[in-house]
Amino acid sequence: MKRVISQDRSRSLREVDWIVGWIRDHGPTTLREIISAMKENNRNISAHTIKRALTKSPFVVNSSEIYRDGERHSLYEFKETTLDK
């Protein structure tokens, strides 16, 4: 059982790393753009993984909001350090 949990956790961490790297290369970006990129790259789309990348990573910050098609979207961007605030 422990091995299965470790493999799932390892896979989840690889997905988080991919999301953070994608934001570094393509940000600032919206959640919809992140999900579209994951689909295009055949990545596993999991709410838990995306939330971990966007809220737990010290390198990803919610920088601002934009309005598209009458809807509010948060913009996420990569920051080298959190001391830049």
Q: Domain spans of the chain? A: 2-84
Chain segment 4-45, per-residue pLDDT in tens: 668 888 888 899 999 999 999 998 999 999 999 999 999 988
Chain segment 43-70, per-residue pLDDT in tens: 988 899 999 999 999 899 998 898 988 8
Alpha helices by DSSP H, listed for the chain, are 2-26, 31-40, 47-51
Sign of CA dihedral 57, 60, 61, 66: negative
Please state which CATH number belongs to domain 2-84. 1.10.10.10
Give yes or no for a cis peptide into 28 (omega within 30° of 0): yes
pTM, two decimals, is: 0.82
Whether the Cβ atoms of residue 44 and residue 1 lie closer than 8 Å to each other: no
